[in-house]
Chain A
């Protein structure tokens, strides 16, 4: 029977065996179930799940000491655009360490960011494939952004500089944009749930009270920040099927994330999102200005044309009146000529007739007969034509050319 060992002695044995038998470094593929930093060191929990049942078939702790982590972290985050987080697949260079007091751990001396990048890309591709299969991938693209896109629901972190810039830019544009903020966490693991919640709030409000013309999801800067939350299937499904056009401006340098792909429009930054909305409004305003200009031009033309027509009509009227006047005048002239020849003629004829009458009247004057020696016998003032009318004693007068004779009949 072997002697009883203290725990320290036993652990020392384990350490010595491990140091001898596992003296090399190994590359290992695993999934992180946890990752946290403490005092500059990085502590990870590694896991391997059964591909079919998804149940863990291996687990181990891993540690990356400060001196290594200082070198590894910036490189890893620059290449992948992400921080280490649970659920991430990693390829680590490790050696075994067993410490009498702290137990077993893999000590990490390097991390291969390209492996993680590849895995993320593969998972992104998988999400994209599924979204396409579900027939929702292009749904947002089929929505039309309203021409009058003025009421804007904004999903952003309240304190983000990008949000402030966005609002200020819209305000200073001179257009009457109305924004309403739906605060959400735009960093880390809560991104998915937080944005989905904000979308649900917007949808409820949109269906009941305030209508929105579009939704803008913005996040201010930080190229190395963790973008994995924007790649998840659930978030993409919510965005893709949202009934209002969604514009994303979540500012990152690497390839489009899935959220960008399914949104109505992807721009790089919050500032670019504001610029787009302003440009959109400006285009509509330009259209209105153009119509107004065309109407003005048209009316100037119509006015000129009408004035010309009026002037022409007036001229025709003047022409026709003066023609009429001319006709009247010439008729008058004709009459005038007629009268001036006819009237003297008539006067002469009348005078001639008068002269004839005068002559005839003169020839009948009894004074002429008296002059020639004839006389007129009067009885009681009447001419005597028959001697029988008279009896003896009647007093008669005989008128001669000169003087009168009084006689008594015998």
Chain B
């Protein structure tokens, strides 16, 4: 379910961006967040759980 939430969050960010709800500082922050979410979701589809855990371990 975590990944579905991530996808929904991504969708919300994109909609808000397009609606012009962020100022330029927020926009930069939200861009970083969106990129993080995109990577998370894409990894889930293309990398096995073991690979994802390895990536997470490296990140810590």
Give A contacts to B, CB under 8 Å.
Answer: 146-148, 150-151, 174-176, 178, 281, 284-285, 287-288, 291-292, 294-295, 298-299, 302, 306
Contact = CB atoms under 8 A, between A and B. Distances in A.
Interface in B35-57: 38, 41-42, 44-49, 51
A178 B48 CA distance: 7
Contacts of A148: 3-4, 41, 44-45
A176 B4 contact: no
Contact of A288 (B7, B17, B47, B48): B7
Nearest to B30: A295
Q: Can you list the 4 inter-chain pairs with the closest CB atoms, starting with the nearest?
A: A148-B3, A176-B48, A291-B14, A147-B4
Contacts of A291: 10-11, 14, 34, 38
A295 B35 CA distance: 9
Chain B interface size range: 20 to 34
Contacts, number: 59
B51 A288 contact: no
25 contacts: A146-B1, A147-B4, A147-B7, A148-B4, A148-B41, A151-B49, A175-B46, A176-B45, A176-B46, A176-B47, A281-B45, A284-B7, A284-B45, A285-B42, A285-B46, A287-B7, A288-B10, A288-B41, A288-B45, A291-B10, A291-B34, A291-B38, A294-B17, A295-B31, A302-B24
**Interface secondary structure of B, over-half rule:** helix
Given A148-B45, A295-B17, A299-B27, 10 more contacts: A146-B4, A148-B44, A284-B45, A285-B46, A288-B7, A288-B38, A291-B38, A295-B14, A298-B17, A299-B31
Nearest to A210: B49
A295 B42 CA distance: 16
Nearest to B34: A295
Contacts of A281: 45
B18 interface: yes
Contacts of A176: 44-48, 51
Nearest to A175: B45
B26 to A, nearest CB: 12
B42 A288 contact: yes
A298 B18 contact: yes
A306 B28 CA distance: 13
B27 to A, nearest CB: 7
Contacts of B42: 285, 288
Contacts of A302: 24, 27
A146 B45 CA distance: 12
Contacts of A151: 49
Contacts of A147: 3-4, 7
Nearest to A178: B48
Contacts of A299: 27, 31
Contacts of A295: 14, 17, 31, 34
A232 B51 CA distance: 42
Contacts of B17: 294-295, 298
Contacts of A284: 7, 41, 45
Contacts of A175: 45-46
Contacts of A150: 44-45
A176 B43 CA distance: 9
A276 B49 CA distance: 21
A175 B46 CA distance: 5
